[in-house]
Structure 1
Amino acid sequence: MTNPLDRAAAALADQPAVAERLARMLVTQQPGDPRPRLILASALRRLGRADQALPLLSDLARAFPQAARTRYELGLSLAALSRDREADRELDHAVRLDPNLGPAWEAIEQRAFAAGDGQRERRAQAALARIDAGDPELGRAAELVVLERFGEAEPLLRRFCLAQPDHPEGLRLMAACQVAARGFAAAETLLNHALSRAPGSRRIRFDLAHALFAGRRAEPALAALAPLLEADPDNAAYRNLLAACLGLLGDDRGAEAINAELAAAFPHNPRIAVNHAHAARTAGERERAIAAYRRAIALHPRGGEAWWGLANLKVGALTTEDETSLRTLLAADLPDDERMRIEYALARRLEDAGKADEAMDHYARGAALARTRFAYGQRDYPAELAATRTTFTPAFLAARAGWGCLDPAPIFVVGLPRSGSTLVEQILASHPAIEGTMELPYMGILAGEIEAGGPAALAAAGPTEVRAWGERYLASAKIHRRLGRTHFIDKMPNNFRHIGLIRLVLPQARIVDVRRHPMAACFSGFKQLFAEGQEFSYDLGDLGRYYRHYLATVRHFVGAAPGAVHTLLYEDLIEDTEREVRQLLAYLGLPFDPACLRFFENDRAVRTVSSEQVRQPIYRSGLDHWRAFEPWLGPLAEALGEDRTNWRETAPLPPL
């Protein structure tokens, strides 16, 4: 039978009243032993009587200044009494005395999260990862992963996993490195293996859900997350990931509601405020978005994501006072990620104020930081075009006509970002037969998997496999189709690279090429800081080369698959909206509907950076906005070459 001291300590977790009774008895019996007094103080705190615990703990701390657990309990009692600064000081003292005191690090992490102190929270998470690893080498790697120093962690983990290939924590950490490198399939494999070795691990299951989400596979991510939410429905990390998955699936109202609840529960956390702002913006709640961005800035004035989110509303949301604040921030020492976003925010404010020269300088500074952040390597566009033309010849497509899935539901809207595709989507989504979804990743994922099989994989595929590819795309897109309409839109602009695959696997799908003046489209992309992807947009020269690659790719399919692509010029749409909409609907085989001309009354969620613009009637003021910046766009004009003037041309490329 355990002794009374052990029984008192064991009762603390779920029977603090019992612990108090036993501890009081022991204090009387053993007045010289500090342990009963520490248990008594802990019991009192757990019973909501921190004011009574505090004198006991203060006396113990004076008598035993090197006792880490006393400092930990003292910190928690001070926190319960809202003496936050003293509480944090005592918790820090506890982990200095005992760097392996996990409960103290957990308390630091939780308090830092609630206070929105990301740096302090990350430090605690790194320490907990080291402690939980149970191995010095693995612990060091775990710290590095939490600190996002994946390049240093990966060789340590590779060595560890080679020696212990079934170690769940080693596998989990290696998967984190894979996610950072966008190796989502490899991460999923590692995490499933880790989960088979430790099926009860919530941490591994959560990482699996996160990896699936990062790979834009929201449905399986939700399935992985479900048991965690069932066991702990109030967990902020789980709910945050749930909201992100709902947003990815198009349930923007649901995502906004969860983010609003989290913002109310953690009013001092600027990251949660930013998430709420993003969700409110997508859901069309402009004023709520502005208020949330402003709240995030008030909580963390150096936070670039909130500043850029506010600037990116594109409705003149930044003021003269904001401009002063942004200049002050840029004059100080900032992490590169924060500086990058604040450069873009200030540039947007200066552009709105008519200061083109200064705005261009700050856009260029932001773009330079973005190029470093995304580690973008220039692609070989001529080689990509040659591969497309060699593979998707007229003969290749003709020999496989009708092989794919014949469902006519998909409408692919392709082109360059910032070319008017969101406007076209909004117009089409106002038609009763068409549902707007979002920029779906599924065709790109399918193309990547086929390409991974080698150059011969596509040519070797037979009718059954080709049809299955099309059916797989439709099955993936199905969850985004909430309105039961005949057609749906996939607005991923970079799908122009996959026109051949679309034509092969979904021969009845419609493809709409939305094309804009190259100087306007490319400059609009250059001054946009994208959430992810579009890395070519941070260099004017590469933007011009990418635009030419896009034109050449579309022109190839004009000859290789006549009628497969309908080109709509953004400028023509602005000049004569009804004519262009009628022609577009005729191409889609649909009757004209006047609702398409009242697209700005459509209250559907819009996820792209043009969300505010497409909620207004069409206006011409943005067509030539780039001309104010023309003196600085020489590298773009040079890279565009002859396509700067003949961009409207839709004739096919000459034969190879």
Structure 2
Amino acid sequence: MESTSLPAIEEQLKTIQQLIQKAKFNDAISQAEALIKLTTDDSQLIELWYLLAVAQRYNKSPLTALSSINQLLRLNNKHSRAHQELGHINLALNEINKAKLAFEHAVKLNPCLVGSWQELIEIYRLSQSSNITPNPTQKSELQDKIQLAANQLAKLKTLPPALLAVTELMHEGKWLKAEQICRHFLQNNKRHIDGMCLLAEIGIELKIYDDAEFLLASSLELEPKHIHARAQYLNLLIRLGKYKAAQYQVDTLLNSQPENLSFKVAKANVLNGLGKTDEAITLFQQAIQQEDSIPGFYLQLGHALKTKGDIDNAVYAYQKAYQLNPSYGDAFWSLANTKTYRFTDAEIAQMQAQQDNEDLALTDKIQLYFATGKAFEDKEDYPQAFHAYQQGNQLQQANNGFDINKLEQQVDEQIKYCTAELFEQRGHLGYEAPDPIFIVGLPRAGSTLLEQILASHSQIDGTMELHNILGLASRLRGRNPNTESNQYPKNLSEINPDYFSRFGKQFIDETRVYREDAPLFIDKMPNNFLHIGLIKLILPNAKIIDARRSPMACCFSGFKQLFAEGQDFSYSLEVIGRYYQAYLKLMAHWEKVLPNFVLTVKHEEVVEDLDKQVHRMLDFCGLEFEQSCIDFHKTKRNIKTPSSEQVRQPIYKSATEQWQHFEQYLEPLKKVLNIN
């Protein structure tokens, strides 16, 4: 049986809502029941069972309504409004305790449900004044709950109805609908700071970071003392790796609230991002002394210690984090992500037990699957390892919205518009500084190893994966990427010629904060391979090294890795294979239109003959040979990527063909890569 079409069902859902509002409950019930028989689509059924339950409750049939809402909860046990409706139904059945539990669960899932908070206040007050007098401790707990509910209710009631609807939709994961309503509200309330902050939050969730950054910066221009807007802006800047700008924001916040612990921890994160890792560790430790029961503090301390290379204390910090919160997926994944930690049988059992927890947050579940996969791989139990990796990847892919077709379109546009003629006409206009060495390619292709080798040279500073080129490309794409005439990369042949030198100098100025004193520095953002043409135009004397690894090894290593952000293509064997093919296609184009601008360094050749490849890279960069590049594993520097511990060891060959242990599961990848 086929589902009814989306426009048709939406219209009929509106009709049912209108019937309920007009108290025509029998008609609403009849229409909902009829539609339920016509659709098999879960999202449609969820809406229909919800409206049916509401109509039945209003029609004074609470037992029938209870059956309907339970049907919905079987489809989606985390539907906040369904739990709220369950609370209302239980109240109608005089099941006060069940109602309380349902409302409490509803606001846990979505703290913006006004109706649930209102009912909870009444239930808590009823408990306080009941004939069975609670003991003093219970009275105090009830009073705290009343106060918490009243505070949240008061906060929600200050929001205009439209923004309250936006917050509810956001908590329900309906981001596009929330964005639509929020934008409409702001068209009529252009300086509404809370509205701007909500739209920025939606932008961050949808990864439209430039919009979010613009909104938050504008909010602070309008209202410089708005703490929430500044804190939100700070968090976004940290996420984007703009640590110098973040430093100003966090210092401003600490000036106004010097004892705010979350701002102190944010300061530590900023310092760690700026390479001041020892200062960051000290601040994290001070925060833990002040409040030692917050798992996230230990997790962030662990990250800083790992960056520094203090792996033993990093492991202790991660273990402390999961001891405080046994379902803390990030703590387990961080242990796995050291690449050297080996889980005990007890830890594996704990991770598997937590995966079955129905209340577990999706992010925790995904992290636990990836950590479990690593644990079983280390035990050479490859079937269980692949099953865990596959579970984690499927969940992550289902929730990241990545579209490989758009990436392939981007590649085609770069090939179409970044022609040899473009570089002949405009390739001499950029800023002539020779400072940057860009290492590009796919993640897990050996870029961290190349960075460690080069950063061991006295004339080169290692930095991190810098977001500046990606940010510039985003700005050139424009605020409305659907406007063809203003779209990057087409506009590279049209923009003011003076801009190229200005963009190049801006890159050098903005990245200086990550450097030390060497004349050259590395930016190892792998995704920059998409923008080599842009790099050539703004920094014609830059060096670009393509870190390349054999397709099966590279793609499967990416599939096993849970990335913090920015590599959403890596969670499907087919998609990662298509991404790899698109990358090869574009790199071949760059070689054609920019001959000798990119040096390709193959990971397998580095492993086989380190000396030869080190000489190749140094010759390409115009540098004399230094033995320290061969002895790269002895170099003391901060490293922020998953491979940090691996590149602190001498070259080893064992990882080059690890994918072969999983070969029987990798047919979808082989097919896309045309490997027999």
Alpha-carbon offset, residue 555 of structure 1: 1.3
Q: Which residue in the other structure is 2:343 paired with?
A: 318
In structure 2, the partner of 1:558 is 591
Partner of 2:149, secondary structure, is coil
User: Alpha-carbon deviation of 1:352?
Assistant: 0.3
Match of 2:212 in 1: 187
Note closer, same or farther for the CA distance 1:622–1:567 as it changes in structure 2 (3 Å cut): same
The farther-off stretch of 460-469 and 178-187 is 178-187
Structure 1 residue 424, shift from structure 2 partner: 0.6
Deviates further, 155-164 or 531-540: 155-164
Cα distance in 1, alignment partners of residues 128 and 237 from structure 2: 39
2:146 to 96, 99, 104: 96
Q: Of 344, 348, 366, which aligns to 2:392?
A: 366
Matches of 1:194 and 1:352, distance apart in 2 = 49
Aligned partner of 1:343 in structure 2 is 369
Question: 2:265 pairs with 209, 234, 240, which one?
Answer: 240
Give the C-alpha shift of residue 142 in structure 1: 4.9
Alignment of 1:192-341 (within 5 A): 192-333=217-358, 334-341=360-367
CA contact (8 A) 1:172 1:204 kept: yes
Distance 1:336 1:146, change over 3 A: closer
Alignment-derived partner of residue 471 in structure 1: 505
- Distance in 2, matches of 1:506 and 1:539, equals 35
Structure 2 residue 621 is matched with structure 1 residue 571: no
Q: How far apart are the structure 2 equivalents of 1:180 and 1:232?
A: 27
CA 1:484–1:288: 2 relative to 1, 3 Å:
same
Q: Secondary structure at the match of 1:99?
A: helix
| Shift in Å, 1:515 | 0.9
**Whole-Å separation in 2 of the counterparts to 1:586 and 1:369:** 45
- What's the CA shift for 1:329? 2.0
Q: 1:389 aligns with which of 394, 409, 415?
A: 415
Instruction: Tell whether the 8 Å contact from 2:433 to 2:541 is kept in structure 1 after alignment.
Output: yes
| CA distance 1:306–1:537, shift in 2 (3 Å) | same
Shift of 1:151: 5.0
Structure 2 counterpart of 1:613: 646
Q: Is 1:353 matched with 2:412?
A: no
1:297–1:306 CA contact under 8 A, matched in 2? yes
Alignment correspondent of 1:461: 495
3-state SS, counterpart of residue 462 of structure 2: strand
- Which sits farther off after the overlay, 171-180 or 587-596? 171-180
Cα displacement string for residues 537-585 of structure 1 (whole angstroms, at most 9, x for unaligned residues): 1011111111111112111121211110111111111111111101110
Q: Percent identity?
A: 32
Deviations 1:350-395 (A, max 9, x none): 0000011111111000000110221222234553333222222222
SS of the equivalent of 1:626 reads: helix
Alignment-mate amino acid for residue 373 of structure 2: A
- Evaluate the alpha carbon distance shift between residue 549 and residue 271 of structure 1 in structure 2; reply closer, same or farther with a 3 A threshold: same
1:591 aligns with 2:637: no
CA distance in 1, matches of 2:214, 2:425: 37
AA partner of residue 427 (structure 1): I
Residues 19-58 of structure 1 aligned to structure 2 (within 5 Å): none
CA contact (8 A) 1:145 1:173 kept: no
Q: How many residues are paired up?
A: 539
CA contact (8 A) 1:392 1:500 kept: yes
Return closer, same or farther for 1:353/1:129 CA change in 2, 3 Å cut-off. Answer: farther
Segment drifting more, 134-143 vs 469-478: 134-143
Which residue matches 2:70? none
Amino acid aligned to 1:480: Y
Residue 543 of structure 1: aligned partner: 576
- Tell me if the contact between 2:411 and 2:530 (Cα under 8 Å) persists in the aligned partners: no
User: 1:306: how far off?
Assistant: 0.5
Give the root-mean-square deviation of aligned CA atoms. 2.6
Structure 1 pair 566–292 and aligned structure 2 pair: CA distance change class (3 A): same
| 1:639 paired to 2:672 | yes
User: How far apart are the structure 1 equivalents of 2:165 and 2:413?
Assistant: 44
Report the CA distance between 1:147 and its aligned residue. Answer: 8.2
Moved more, 432-441 or 175-184: 175-184
Cα displacement (A) at 1:129 = 4.2
Residue 201 of structure 1: CA displacement?
A: 2.2
Secondary structure in 2 aligned to 1:379? helix
Match of 1:430?
Answer: 456
Aligned to 1:379: 405
Amino acid at match of 2:505: E
Cα shift at 1:405 = 0.8
Question: 1:422, 1:540 → 2: CA distance?
Answer: 23
Q: Counterpart of 2:637?
A: 604
TM-score (normalised: structure 1)? 0.77
Q: 1:463 to 1:309 in 2, by over 3 A?
A: same
Q: Report the residue type matching 2:275 in the other structure.
A: G
Provide the C-alpha distance between the structure 2 equivalents of 1:393 and 1:135, rounded to a whole number of angstroms.
52
Tell me which structure has the larger Cα radius of gyration: 1
> Are the structure 2 counterparts of residues 180 and 98 from structure 1 closer, same or farther at C-alpha, using a change threshold of 3 Å?
closer
* Greater CA drift, 393-402 or 206-215: 206-215
Work out whether residues 330 and 364 of structure 2, in 8 Å CA contact, stay in contact via their aligned partners in 1: yes
The CA distance in 2 between the partners of 1:454 and 1:137, in whole Å, is 33
Residue 215 of structure 1: how far off its partner (Å):
3.5
Distance, in Å, in 2 between the alignment partners of 1:535 and 1:134 is 35
| Deviating more after overlay: 165-174 vs 148-157 | 148-157
